[in-house]
Structure 1
Amino acid sequence: MMQFIIFFIWLAGNVRLVLNSPTLGSKDNPRVLSKDIVCGGFEYPVHQNHSVFFYHEDSGEMYIGATDFVLKLDVEGFHIMENFSLKAPGQQHCEEGRCENVITVIEKFQDSLFVCGTNGNKPQCWKLFPSVNNQSLEIVESYEGMGISPFVYTHNVISLSVEGDLYSAAPLDTDGSSLQFRRKAGSRTNVWMYDNWISEPTFISATWVERREEPDNEKIYIFFREKNSDHNPEADPWISRVARVCKVDEGGSKRFFQNIWTSFLKARLVCGFPEKSLYFNHLRDIYVVQGEDWVDTTVYGLFTSSWNATAVCTYTIGKIEDVFENSTFKGYNKDIPNPRPGTCVKNSRNLPLTTVNMVKDYPEMTDWVQSMHQTAPFYVSSNNYTKIAVDRVRAADGRMHNILLLATDSGKIHKVLEDGAEPFIISETQLSSRSTVQSMKLDSKKRKLVVGFSEKILIIDLQRCQEYNQSCADCILARDPYCVWTELGCTPTVTGGIQNILDGNRSVCHPSDEEQKQINRTKRETGSLSTVDLRTTYSVPLGVPFYLSCPIDSYHAVYTWEHTGQGSPCLQMQSNCLHLIPAMTQENYGGYECVSKERDYTKVVKTYQLKQQTIQVTTRDTERDNNHITINYASAGVLQITLIPLTLAVTVSAIFR
């Protein structure tokens, strides 16, 4: 009875850990909980409330902006190449926090690094150039930053640099109002939006889609959510949108719409289950994967819903353009003027008044932009995702595969394969248990993901294949495009390696001698345990509580413990499967195998042999200690015991009898 009481208390104290782990055998969970894939890190001296990342693909340079400084980061070797101070003037003479210069914008603009910040509630921008010796940055020019950087870092801001022009959205007022999308600086005319076009917007992202054969027809696409004009209590308070403006738009004539976009159009971005009228209307983040042909450029939208679920929907620029080019205009039932509103023309100042007036009064499309999967989102999850990035990976067979990298609000990164009819969650990596992800930037060339938290920056190596290195089958079942099976084990993808990304069927493997032993072992006809050469042996006394443990290699597998022809389920404890024995009896001795089964692949993960051993139980018969018993026995699988007072044990046993 005493051993049972202690065992029960120990088990109850660990139930919370069991519930926090992914459920075994479920494809809706990550297959692997990744470890040791962080290849570098930087601890901030002081926690940061806000950070912004900028990655320049051509040069491979990564810049990180935080409070009062900009870092230049070497992603490959992970070290800080430069720390450039950008403090607001007169910081020592003002109230705490009021004079901080929180960096909110970093862009490659014209021939310099263009950096903007709150500058003590007086937004300012700086052009940073390499110094003469090219070892550091120095300020050459500074500009007023109103309309590019917000006054405070908590206000909405986006920016985009396109062919020497800077586009931005930031409030013009200290209260966060007068927020709209503008072309703010560069060689072209500064233009902005008409006030009635949007209502209380939150801008998410802006992107330029290049058309090499028709550059005058290139568009800037803006993704945002805005307040719903439908005040019905059942209507969602927010609507997700995509809008577009022409790159060559110079605004209207001097007498009408001067410095106002003449090509602005917007449409509703739909993500959900149309047949059930269930929609994810809260756009959270956007990632754009440029296609070889502009129509194939893919937009990945991250949405949340009112019922605490998150979804990923995908769209193509071709389908978005189809809505803008062919839909009717919401609320307008007359003949559409020529040229059609939203058409890109070389001289927008010469557009007919009828065309510009339609843009002014009817900028919204009647048709909605549907996702590529139409009837349902590509991926729906109960995880609260906050950031998304998408990497395109060329597999060993030359095919391209998309990998979604999703950040949760609990400091985790999920790696999700987009291939076939359903998403496949490859892995989960816990990076921080203290804070959520502030910023995330993908370096596709180096296969690294840079992740920023309030306390640190971490770099994830996306092609750490050692986790699947036990066998060819383990490597193939991972369905990880970054990894292939070779003579050297599971390694970063190379031509000629073994992969099966589409369905993870392990038939592509050529069984080695050791793998063949495993196959033969799992094909036994009876329930009796086969002879296993490499098994861990423990000598365990009668009557003591004992547990066996084996590591969980895959959360998509189902694990069982086999003993004397009988199977029992494992007790999941974080990343281990346990078999618990409340008190050893004669029937508990013998061989045990921890067996995992994933699809058609069965393997023995761990084997044990338990033998009987006699131990001494010493009762200390003293006036002060006669209520205590100590069992002097220790091994890897025994619950270490210093017994509680017998009076307490009686009470506990009465409660749980």
Structure 2
Amino acid sequence: MGGCVLVVFLFALWGRLLLHPAAAEHRRMHPRIITTPTGAKRFAFDKNETHTVLYHEEGNSSVFVGAIEKLYYYDFDTQENYTEDFHVDGEGPCNKPEENKNYLTFLEKYNDKLLICGTNACQPTCWNWVDRKKERTIVARGLAPFVPEQNTLVLVDGKEIYSTIKKHLNNGKIPRFRRIHGSGELYTSDTVMQNPQFIKATIIKQTESYNDRIYYFFREDNPDQSAGAPLNVSRVAQLCKGDRGGVGSLSAAKWTTFLKATLVCTDPATNRNFNWLQDVFVVHSNTNWQETKIYGLFSNPWGYSAVCIYSIGNIDKVFRTSPLKGYNGDFHTIRPGQCLQGDALTPTETFKVVDSHPEVVEKVKPQVPLFHNKYRYQKIGVHRVQAADGHTYNVLYLTTDKGTIHKMVELPDCVVNIMEILPFQPQVPIHTMTLDNERNELYVVSERGGPGTYGHVWGLSEQL
């Protein structure tokens, strides 16, 4: 009895970080310690799972796992657990038998309720989950795909929801970034991105609320087709959260503040380039929005991985000051990408410029790569920890393609790879990783297990 299984693994982050004074004098990119955590709690699923999505609320001891026609719940403190069926509701227009199922693809808090959305046999449907009961809720188009897809992002901010999921079954293959709920629906023009692969989206609240921005990170086909140029390029895009569209009929339903810039991650010492953005983690600043840090995990065709750090302040400056690629004219009164106050609409002239020239010339660069090595990292998480010396350090958690986790500490002059954690035996690829900074815990999901095992939830709360 084998097959794919699901494992969710939880363990405590370091309560106190112990550093030797000499640690900052060198760079250790191989783990100092290899450990298999013990003392795990577990919750067995009733079957193997091949599709999963994890939801965890910060500061809470429980997790929800959405699967194929199943919702699993487990509380790591009380061991309370249950499983609920989410069978297909109605008959859908699917073309393939494997699509005639309800793949739960989205779990998130919305209007103070847990919102659950699924494919529902090519009829996307959403439910509120209240007191262990399903309630039909908002229209699901744009919240769940018609069939399971990997290239999707959904971002919730208060009453507003943003999504890259197409709203109609047969409306073409060009992905768009949309506002689907909130202050009027908007979508990106079909020409501003070339075959984008979406990685992460975040909202940065600025001092003046009308300047609040959405940043999303993605890869796209490289417009440079010259010999030696990489096939893909990594980007960051900006949108004004308060964008109301444009004046003319061509821009009334479109984002009019879209700009994109290239993310550069290069080691000048070795001249190694890392152009494939793998994952992004955002460390928000509690005091100054400009000091919010973006940790980008990159790879290259030779099997190396790198982490580069960018500041939102620098990204904001690039978009505010850089010329537009291929444009030499005037900006009139409104600069492309500029946020407007109140309900003002973007002038037609400004929209025409930015729609035809969405890329800025200046590239977004880090100080230097935080580190690079020969491991193939898949996902990144960052946790701020106060050490025994009284200072606060960023601790990085990186999943490898071997199913292990590397725990690193970022020091003023280097990075030290403290340990390699083996959460699963035998080792299997890690599908999802989520940090809980309030509880100092890390949740890890794997979709495969060893022979003879069903899916289950692991939990470890001892300090490492």
Task: State the TM bucket, normalised to the shorter chain.
Answer: 0.7 to 0.9
Find 2:140's aligned residue among 142, 145, 154.
145
Matched, 1:314 2:309: yes
Relative to structure 1, is the Cα distance of residues 91 and 26 closer, same or farther in structure 2, using a 3 angstrom cutoff? farther
How far off is 1:461 after superposition? 4.8
Distance, in Å, in 1 between the alignment partners of 2:397 and 2:440 is 12
Matched, 1:101 2:102: yes
- Matches for 1:428-577 after TM superposition, within 5 Å: 428-432=420-424, 433=426, 435-455=428-448, 456=455, 461=460, 464-465=463-464
Q: Aligned partner of 2:159: which letter?
A: G
- Matches for 1:2-401 after TM superposition, within 5 Å: 27-37=28-38, 39-57=40-58, 62-77=63-78, 79-89=79-89, 96-128=97-129, 130-131=130-131, 136=132, 138-172=133-167, 177-186=173-182, 188-211=183-206, 213-253=207-247, 255-274=249-268, 278-292=272-286, 293-347=288-342, 349-373=344-368, 377-401=369-393
Q: Aligned partner of 1:185: which letter?
A: H
Q: Aligned partner of 2:463: which letter?
A: R
Deviations 1:592-635 (A, max 9, x none): xxxxxxxxxxxxxxxxxxxxxxxxxxxxxxxxxxxxxxxxxxxx
SS at match of 2:390: coil
CA contact (8 A) 1:262 1:348 kept: no
How far off is 1:173 after superposition? 6.0
Relative to structure 1, is the Cα distance of residues 255 and 26 closer, same or farther in structure 2, using a 3 angstrom cutoff? closer
TM-score, normalised relative to structure 2: 0.85
SS at match of 2:98: coil
Distance, in Å, in 2 between the alignment partners of 1:399 and 1:363 is 42
Distance, in Å, in 2 between the alignment partners of 1:439 and 1:194 is 31
CA contact (8 A) 2:305 2:375 kept: yes
CA contact (8 A) 1:203 1:225 kept: yes
Relative to structure 1, is the Cα distance of residues 345 and 335 closer, same or farther in structure 2, using a 3 angstrom cutoff? same
Distance, in Å, in 2 between the alignment partners of 1:37 and 1:380 is 30
How far off is 1:229 after superposition? 1.3
Distance, in Å, in 2 between the alignment partners of 1:405 and 1:460 is 17
How far off is 1:462 after superposition? 7.6
CA contact (8 A) 2:297 2:307 kept: yes
SS at match of 1:350: coil
How far off is 1:46 after superposition? 2.6
> Residue 4 of structure 1 corresponds to which residue in structure 2?
none
CA contact (8 A) 2:237 2:259 kept: yes
> Residue 17 of structure 2 corresponds to which residue in structure 1?
none
Q: Aligned partner of 1:342: which letter?
A: G
Q: Aligned partner of 1:234: which letter?
A: G
What is the root-mean-square deviation of aligned Cα atoms in Å? Answer: 2.6
How far off is 1:172 after superposition? 4.5
How far off is 1:42 after superposition? 3.2
| Larger CA deviation: 280-289 vs 46-55 | 46-55
How far off is 1:169 after superposition? 1.1
Relative to structure 1, is the Cα distance of residues 56 and 26 closer, same or farther in structure 2, using a 3 angstrom cutoff? closer
How far off is 1:59 after superposition? 5.4
How far off is 1:207 after superposition? 0.6
Distance, in Å, in 2 between the alignment partners of 1:258 and 1:61 is 43
Relative to structure 1, is the Cα distance of residues 275 and 331 closer, same or farther in structure 2, using a 3 angstrom cutoff? farther
Higher relative contact order (CA 8 A, sep 6+): 2
Distance, in Å, in 2 between the alignment partners of 1:30 and 1:383 is 11
SS at match of 2:430: coil
Q: Aligned partner of 1:383: which letter?
A: Y
Deviations 1:223-272 (A, max 9, x none): 11011112223111111111111111121235340110111111101112
SS at match of 1:250: coil
Find 2:410's aligned residue among 418, 422, 426.
418
How far off is 1:92 after superposition? 13
How far off is 1:415 after superposition? 0.6
Relative to structure 1, is the Cα distance of residues 162 and 32 closer, same or farther in structure 2, using a 3 angstrom cutoff? same
Distance, in Å, in 1 between the alignment partners of 2:74 and 2:335 is 47
Distance, in Å, in 2 between the alignment partners of 1:380 and 1:403 is 16
SS at match of 2:40: strand
> Residue 7 of structure 1 corresponds to which residue in structure 2?
none
> Residue 408 of structure 1 corresponds to which residue in structure 2?
400
Q: Aligned partner of 1:300: which letter?
A: Y
Distance, in Å, in 2 between the alignment partners of 1:300 and 1:412 is 20
Deviations 1:388-426 (A, max 9, x none): 111111223432111111111211111111113221111
Relative to structure 1, is the Cα distance of residues 105 and 283 closer, same or farther in structure 2, using a 3 angstrom cutoff? same
Deviations 1:420-476 (A, max 9, x none): 3221111111223353111111112222111111144655658624xxxxxxxxxxx
How far off is 1:80 after superposition? 4.8
Distance, in Å, in 2 between the alignment partners of 1:111 and 1:191 is 25
SS at match of 1:84: strand
SS at match of 1:88: coil
CA contact (8 A) 1:86 1:101 kept: yes
Q: Aligned partner of 2:433: which letter?
A: M
TM-score, normalised relative to structure 1: 0.61
CA contact (8 A) 2:246 2:348 kept: no
Aligned residues: 429
**What stretches of structure 1 of length at least 5 have no aligned partner?**
1-24, 466-657
How far off is 1:106 after superposition? 1.5
How far off is 1:315 after superposition? 0.8
Q: Aligned partner of 1:63: which letter?
A: F
Q: Aligned partner of 2:331: which letter?
A: I
CA contact (8 A) 2:377 2:400 kept: yes
Distance, in Å, in 2 between the alignment partners of 1:64 and 1:143 is 21
Q: Aligned partner of 1:50: which letter?
A: H
How far off is 1:199 after superposition? 0.6
Structure 1 runs, 4 residues or longer, greater than 6 Å off:
91-95
Deviations 1:173-231 (A, max 9, x none): 65882311111113x101110000001011011111123x3122111110110111122
Distance, in Å, in 1 between the alignment partners of 2:110 and 2:71 is 16
CA contact (8 A) 1:103 1:115 kept: yes
